[in-house]
Amino acid sequence: MSTLVSRHRFVAAVVICLSGTALLPFISLNTGSFGWQAFADAYIVFRNSFDFQGQVGELPWSDVQPPPRMQFSPVSDPEEYAGSFELDPAIAKALTAEPTEILMLAGDALEPIFGIEARHSEGRYEIRAKAVEDDGSASYSDWRELTDLVTPLDVEWTRALQSTRDGSLYLSQAGNLLVWVVDLDNDQAAAIERGVREFAGQPVLREFLQAQ
């Protein structure tokens, strides 16, 4: 990329970002056509030209933190899963009113087997369970409200026996059942990996008992 083109893209990036239209397509100075790559190059030049340290609160999440993601690890038993966690409200406050999986069990190619979903709105935290059956359909529990304190959660999932509907998913707190999905036709499920949602590199669930 020539120095002249770089400077032009830098100036354009400043104008676009300050005007609040940073999501509009940018005109490539090389080809004269619309395209995202030209804008992306210019935006990188713009970002690298400034020290954003100390301005974290003024920048979009994706500019200063790793994006939310699932951190996966293998499980040892394909037919059942049990794990104990603590929900950290300091991390969970990054949740929105949209249901978000904070824990999931997956099979081959990360095909979902079950998910624990949570949402956060106006200081309220709610949680529910979702289980996938062999035909690909999903069954959901009701939503259950949680406190804004550190919350212990125990998860138990069991695969159905062949030709039966006795698969189950239970979520409990300190021995008290919170939500559940039962009578599942999921005898084809084979658990391979477990995923925990992370925000800014920090897990929203802390595991304090190794999964069985």
Task: Kindly report, residue by residue over 92-126, the tens digit of the pLDDT.
Answer: 989 999 999 999 999 999 999 999 999 998 888 99
**Statement to judge: residues 46 and 95 lie in one domain:** no
**Statement to judge: residues 143 and 90 lie in one domain:** yes
- Return phi, psi of residue 179, to 5°: -140, 160
Mean confidence (pLDDT) of the chain: 77
Indicate the Cα dihedral angle 113, 125, 149, 154, nearest 10°: -20
Structure tokens given for 209:
């008992």
**Statement to judge: residues 95 and 161 lie in one domain:** yes
**Statement to judge: residues 106 and 7 lie in one domain:** no
**Statement to judge: residues 20 and 123 lie in one domain:** no
Q: How many domains does the chain have?
A: 2
pLDDT > 70: percent of the chain: 67
Question: Domain holding 111: CATH number?
Answer: 2.60.120
3-state secondary structure 148-201: CCCEEEEEEEECCCCCCCCEEEEEEECCEEEEEEEEECCCCCCCCEEEEEEECC
Q: What share of the chain is helix, strand, coil (3-state, %, to 5)?
A: 20, 40, 40
**Statement to judge: residues 187 and 95 lie in one domain:** yes
Does 56 reside within a domain?
no
Does 183 reside within a domain?
yes
pLDDT of residue 180: 97
- Min mean pLDDT across 53-67, 74-88, 127-141, 143-157 is at 53-67
Average pLDDT estimate for 143-165? 93
Does 55 reside within a domain?
no
**Statement to judge: residues 74 and 17 lie in one domain:** no
**Statement to judge: residues 13 and 104 lie in one domain:** no
**43 or 52: whose pLDDT is higher?**
43
**Statement to judge: residues 95 and 176 lie in one domain:** yes
Residue 35 sits in which domain range? 3-50
Does 161 reside within a domain?
yes
Does 114 reside within a domain?
yes
Would you say 155 and 81 are in contact if contact means Cβ atoms under 8 Å apart? yes
Q: What is the CA radius of gyration of the chain?
A: 23
- Min mean pLDDT across 8-12, 137-141, 191-195, 196-200 is at 8-12
**Statement to judge: residues 75 and 151 lie in one domain:** yes
Does 44 reside within a domain?
yes
Amino acid at 139: S
**Statement to judge: residues 94 and 123 lie in one domain:** yes
Does 35 reside within a domain?
yes
**Statement to judge: residues 144 and 46 lie in one domain:** no
Answer whether 0.75 is exceeded by the pTM.
no
Does 133 reside within a domain?
yes
Structure tokens given for 46:
């713009």
